[in-house]
Amino acid sequence: MAMLVVVTEAVPPRLRGRLAIWLLEVRAGVYVGDVNRRVREMIWEQVNALVEDGNVVMAWSSRHESGFEFQTCGKNRRVPVDYEGLRLVRFAPDPEAEG
């Protein structure tokens, strides 16, 4: 079992309800729980199927060098990048700031 954190933004109520079945919503759109890999993967399938125009990040504890891993779904200015085996986050340019 591993600690799991899911943060949602602008997702449909159906997805929020589905996440609340397996995880505890500690703040609006922020879910935490202690689940195994199989349940985590099933939750991610639900996220991908129901995210619509919103976005989601899922992070979980692991034996990775940083102590956790994460994945994202949907459009967001924060973009995961791999830097020499370490996953980091960079900001994509703001499309509204461009002329």
- Residue listed under structure tokens 């791999």: 82
At 98 the pLDDT is: 64
pTM score of the predicted model: 0.87
CATH number of the domain to which 70 belongs = 3.30.70.240
**Domain annotation covers residue 58:** yes
Longest dimension (CA), the chain: 48
Query: Which residue type is seen at 93?
Result: P
**Looking at the domain assignment, is residue 99 inside a domain?**
no
Domain carrying residue 84:
2-91
Q: What is the pLDDT along the chain (99 residues), one digit of tens a residue?
A: 899 999 999 999 999 999 999 999 999 999 999 999 999 999 999 999 999 999 999 999 998 888 899 999 998 888 888 888 788 888 888 777 665
Q: Does some domain include residue 43? A: yes
The secondary element (H helix, E strand) that includes residue 71 is: strand 68-74
Q: What is the per-residue pLDDT for 39?
A: 97
In a domain, 98, yes or no: no
Within-domain flag for 71: yes
Domains identified in the chain, total number = 1
